[in-house]
Amino acid sequence: MNTDSKSDDRRTRARRTTLAGVRGLVLAVSVLPFSVVFLVLTLVSLALVPLGIGLVTTPMVLSGVRALADTRKRLAAEWCGVRIGSAYRPVPPGAWPWTRTSVMLRDPQTWRDVRWLPVDMTAGFVTALLPALLLFYPLEGFAVAAGLWRVEDGPYWYLFVPVQGTLTALAAAALAAVLLVVALRYTPRLLTVHFRLTRAVLGTDIGELTERVRVLTETRQDAVDTSAAELRRIERDLHDGAQARLVAMGMDLGTVEMLIERDPAQAKRLLAQARRNSAEALEELRDLVRGIHPPVLAERGLGDAVRALALRLPLPTEVTVELPGRPDAPVESAAYFAVSEVLTNAVKHSGTDRIRVDLHHADGMLRITVTDHGKGGATVGAGSGLAGVERRLGTFDGVLAVSSPAGGPTLVTMEMPCALS
């Protein structure tokens, strides 16, 4: 690994660590008050149900608890990639308070949300605070060593180091440096622990199954739409390209048949033009077939096909392939066109001067990463090329992850479950 790559890795790790610490602090500050308030409101509202007052307040309070839980699920997915499934029973619109209360109280997901509140205000608070403590506590050790933090009466204990003079202050700084190294390694993982705890309480297999059905429905529709669009493109290209040239060639040959005895010179010119039309039609058909399934992909496999893609790019592109076999043809084709789209986006929009592609297979997953050192800012938004890549991969249960901070680098990771033959 060269010096630039090592420097980029260090900056990326420092950025992730700082972000995890700040996010943990934000969570710790918000977890305790929100969880306590909603737990108290829920208990009071449920206690008032027999009096009739709770019939009105309980749906509102439980809706607030549900919104709080949904926010935590969204942050878990966005910040740490932890997916938390849930499945709420629908509440009939315009229902009477008693009906709304009854439906919500008979919903198992509602009780998971309520049980989550005391867990969140205790263990959740601790696991959210730990990343911030691990990141910011070393700053106190450095401040003590620099003389910015003084205690007049007795020694000042920095963890297990009693700071009384210069030597012990330096020992505190050394301990702070060790803690900072540990923070760089473990702070993002500690934040993930918080969200995994949330998933253990809030998550449900039913929710995951519901989400699975939703994703399969969407990807099936995307596959149908993509196939229909591809068929229309092929039909249009055949009609406007090769078919038009073949029709023109047939007309030229008909004219040659009439002129071959009366005007041999003109007949020769038309034969030469027909030959050019046939060559151009053949080239267009080859391009069309290459767009459907490139010959190099069929003959040599995904690794060599991506290498061929890299050779046609205007930028230096390094390709690393570790594939002991070949995926199934549909997976291989989807991966090829996904890489092609990502490389095209990098060349057009990133402003980078080099690109790196890595393909390998591990634990039943085909994993592809495309890295550029451009300006960053890539997002998976509606209408973007990356959104199309995500839909293409989703047809095969694949996922797309994009890390592209402002200023770069941009790292696009694609994964698809598959077996190699």
Q: How confident is the model at residue 221 (pLDDT cuts 50, 70, 90)?
A: low
Q: Helical H runs in 48-107?
A: 53-80, 97-105
- Give the torsion through C-alpha atoms of 313, 318, 323, 329, to 10 deg: -10
Quickly tell me which residue has 């550029």 as its tokens.
Answer: 372
Residue 368 and residue 414 in contact, taking contact as beta carbons nearer than 8 Å: yes
Helix (H, G, I), strand (E, B) or coil at 406: coil
Beta strand 156-158 with 410-417 is unpaired
Most confident option among 14-23, 171-180, 222-231, 358-367? 358-367
Residue 188 and residue 23 in contact, taking contact as beta carbons nearer than 8 Å: no
Helix (H, G, I), strand (E, B) or coil at 396: coil
The answer to pTM > 0.95 is no
The CA distances from residue 155 to 146, 249, 295, in Å, are 16, 98, 76
Answer with the residue of higher pLDDT: 319 or 138: 319
Helix (H, G, I), strand (E, B) or coil at 148: coil
Residue 68 and residue 110 in contact, taking contact as beta carbons nearer than 8 Å: no
C-alpha neighbours within 13 Å on the C-beta side of residue 298: 7
Burial class (CB in 10 A: 0-12, 13-18, 19+), 372: buried
Structure tokens at 298: 């069929």
What is the per-residue burial (b if ≥16 Cβ within 10 Å, else e) of 262-276?
A: eeeeebeebbeebee
* First vs last C-alpha separation in the chain: 31
Q: Is the pLDDT of residue 79 over 70?
A: yes
Q: DSSP for 191-220, please give it.
A: HHHHHHHHHHHH--HHHHHHHHHHHHHHHH
How many angstroms separate the CA atoms of 85 and 172, rounded? 44
Q: Is the pLDDT of residue 40 over 90?
A: yes
Span 154-159, average pLDDT: 64
How many angstroms separate the CA atoms of 191 and 79, rounded? 9
DSSP annotation of 421:
-
Q: How confident is the model at residue 240 (pLDDT cuts 50, 70, 90)?
A: low
pLDDT value of residue 275: 76
Q: How confident is the model at residue 44 (pLDDT cuts 50, 70, 90)?
A: very high
Question: What phi, psi does 150 have (nearest 5°)?
Answer: -120, 145
Q: Is the pLDDT of residue 235 over 70?
A: no
What is the per-residue burial (b if ≥16 Cβ within 10 Å, else e) of 51-74?
A: eeebbebbbebbeebbebbeebbe
Residue-wise pLDDT for 178-212, tens only, equals: 777 777 777 888 889 999 999 989 886 555 556 55
Q: Is the pLDDT of residue 316 over 70?
A: yes
